[in-house]
Amino acid sequence: MEMLKRLMVEEEGQTMTEYALLIALIALGLVTVLTTFRGALEGVFTKMGGTVNDVSTEIQAP
């Protein structure tokens, strides 16, 4: 009985659980946002890659 009372009073486990839930919600939000904007992000990175290749080619040309 004493152990049950102690478990109800201690808050360390509750804090860790709250942090775990917060991290899970943030991760779920990131996955949702990245999935939603996947096409737009792909276009941005493709454009950046093309620009890097163009600059690299210009530097090597002379």
Could you say which DSSP state residue 58 is in?
Answer: H
Q: How many domains does the chain have?
A: 1
Would you say the C-alpha torsion 46, 44, 38, 19 has a positive or negative sign?
positive
End-to-end CA distance of the chain: 83
Tell me the C-alpha distance between 19 and 46, whole Å. Answer: 36
**pLDDT by residue (tens digit) across 6-17?**
766 766 667 888
Length of the chain: 62
Residue 44 lies in a domain: yes
Tell me the C-alpha distance between 62 and 20, whole Å. Answer: 55
Domain that holds residue 51: 29-62
Residue 22 lies in a domain: no
- State residue 61's pLDDT score: 59
**pLDDT by residue (tens digit) across 25-57?**
999 999 999 999 999 999 999 999 998 888 877
Residue 14 lies in a domain: no
Could you say which DSSP state residue 26 is in?
Answer: H
